[in-house]
Amino acid sequence: MKDTRGRALEGTRDMVPRNASADMGASPGGQSPSAPRGLLRRAPIVLGTITGLVVCALAFAVLQLTAAQAPAPIDRATTLCTQLKAQRYAEIYSTLSARLRAEGTAAQFAASQEQLDVLYGKVTACSANANATQPSGQPSLTLSVTRERQGTRAGSITLVYEDNAWKIDSYDSSVV
């Protein structure tokens, strides 16, 4: 029995037969009509969560694929040695930090290197060794340069990571 609001009267709940659910508005599967509405209410939250996770995974994948591994500072110094031996001074100028490039043009830098070649001879051998990192965080390397008339001289270079590459930020001008 039910009252005027459709609620079961106290003590009459047991009077409803167990198979009468079909008569009370339930779906044939035994679920009440409110069950699909509950799923629909949660759908935006579930879909939003899944979308957020997919976006995060894609962003992580893109970052991993696009993040280039920085070459080791010693690689920059080894390339410098190759460029010095081949007298490719314009290439060396392009590997100077912005701070050093602001001190002069590529032509001025090439002229200073050519002057070292005239005074001390061409570079015949060159090697680099890594030193401790400077307090500023910049790696420091020792460059050993052998010239035809001067013999071997060692000097230091300091690198800075700029524009996704190691750039020469300071160097011993008697060697380079």
Mean pLDDT taken over the chain: 81
Sign of the torsion formed by the C-alpha atoms of 164, 169, 172 and 174 = positive
Regarding whether 160 and 86 lie in a shared domain, the answer is yes
Above 60 in pLDDT, residue 22? no
163: left (phi over 0), alpha (psi -120 to 50) or beta: left
| Residues 80 and 115 grouped into a single domain | yes
Count of structural domains within the chain: 2
CA 36 to chain centre: 45
Between 29 and 135, whose confidence is greater? 135
Are both 22 and 109 inside the same structural domain? no
Segments forming the whole domain that contains residue 117: 73-171
Q: Would you say residue 24 lies in a domain? A: yes
Return d(Cα 29, Cα 33) in angstroms, integer. 10
86-113 pLDDT, tens digit per residue, is: 999 999 999 999 999 999 999 999 999 9
Contact 161, 70 (CB under 8 A): yes
Q: How far is CA 5 from the centre of its chain?
A: 65
Q: What are the b/e assignments for 77-106, b being 16+ CB within 10 Å?
A: bbbbbebbeeeebeebbebbbeebbeeeee
For residue 1, tell me if it sits in a domain: no
Helix, strand, coil proportions of the chain in percent (round to 5)? 45, 20, 30
Residues 51 and 109 in one domain: no
Q: How many other C-beta atoms are found inside a 10 Å radius of the C-beta of residue 109?
A: 19
**pLDDT tens per residue across span 25-82:** 445 555 555 556 666 777 778 788 888 888 877 777 666 665 556 678 889 999 999 9
Greater confidence (176 vs 16) lies with: 176
Co-location of 133 and 88 in the same domain: yes
For the entire predicted model, the pTM comes to 0.59
Given a cut of 70, whether residue 115 has pLDDT beyond it is: yes
Query: Would you state the pLDDT for residue 55?
Result: 82
